[in-house]
Structure 1
């Protein structure tokens, strides 16, 4: 799928540096960055869920937070 990515000068400079350090094109560096961030977020969510299941304090805190958010 084709996509146009509009970047500020600073963002383009950062992407250029990232590509150079990885020895890849800017397109490849952007794709890798997207996959890395998605992986981190999924892992963090998984760890948080495991903590809520296995650590009573986390489970209690989540329960208290849910009750505060309800109208």
Structure 2
């Protein structure tokens, strides 16, 4: 952490905040992709369940 902060000229806190933001964004993106894939692959089943 210290080496990365020093190399990038940022505080350790800024590095941590950035890492958390990236993790949350990536997690949301992966979740959205999974939901889209499920909806596409199981459209007929989801349609039947909705009735």
Fold-level similarity (TM above 0.5): yes
Q: May I ask how many residue pairs the two structures share in their alignment?
A: 43
RMSD of aligned alpha carbons: 1.9
Q: What whole-Å deviation, never above 9, does each CA across 1:14-65 have from its counterpart, x for those lacking one?
A: x223323433110100000000001010100000000000124xx8xxxxxx
1:1-71 matches, cutoff 5 A: 15-56=1-42
Secondary structure in 1 aligned to 2:10?
coil
Task: Provide TM-score, normalisation by structure 2.
Answer: 0.68
Q: Which runs of 5+ in 1 are unaligned?
A: 1-14, 60-71
Alignment partners' CA distance in 2, 1:17 and 1:44: 30
Task: Provide TM-score, normalisation by structure 1.
Answer: 0.51
Q: Which runs of 5+ in 2 are unaligned?
A: 46-51
